[in-house]
Amino acid sequence: MSVETEIRFRLNGRETRLKVPVTMKVLSMLRDLLGLTGTKYACGEGECGACTIKVDGRTVNSCLMYAVDCDEREVVTIEGLRTPEGLHPVQQAFVDHGAVQCGFCMPGMIMQADALIEGNPALTREQAQRGLEGNLCRCTGYTKVLDAVESVVANKCRGAG
């Protein structure tokens, strides 16, 4: 019999309360309990970044983190990245630059890219490349991904200037 415990946390801006098995990982909680399938399951071992989400503003591999550790924390998934007007600027840039091919890695890649830009509004292409090393993509060759990230940074710098 699996032991459950109740957790409360903010998920994509909404107060959320639910019972989770103590052995459940965040990725399973999101996909199987909450129906948030934007966060992808691939390796399940912290190697590919497909399951990247933000917890308290920092990216984590949700396949490694226990759901109970979300208690009292702020969780953001790809579903929470939209703005009221539509796509988030990072999502839009990926679309505009043709950085999305099969799309499987994209939720994790976009969450990571957004966190990198948030942490460093003057992010360079080289820093973006290093920061995205944990997010594996078999399709794009990364060039268009980096073009997209660069364009978001350039737009932010223009906006700030």
87/156 with CB nearer ligand FES: 87
**Smallest distance from the beta carbon of 49 to ligand FES, in angstroms?**
5
Q: How many distinct helices (H) and strands (E) make up the chain? A: 5, 5
63/116 with CB nearer ligand FES: 63
d(CA 42, CA 47): 9
Which residues make up the interface to ligand FES (CB under 6 A)? Answer: 41-44, 46-51, 61, 63, 101-106, 137-140
Burial of 141 (0-12, 13-18, 19+ CB in 10 A): exposed
**Residues recorded for the chain:** 161
- Cβ contact 53:36 at 8 Å: no
**Smallest distance from the beta carbon of 30 to ligand FES, in angstroms?**
12
d(CA 7, CA 143): 41
98/119 with CB nearer ligand FES: 98
33/156 with CB nearer ligand FES: 33
**Smallest distance from the beta carbon of 67 to ligand FES, in angstroms?**
14
With residue 113 as reference, give the H or E element that holds it.
helix 106-119
**Smallest distance from the beta carbon of 15 to ligand FES, in angstroms?**
26
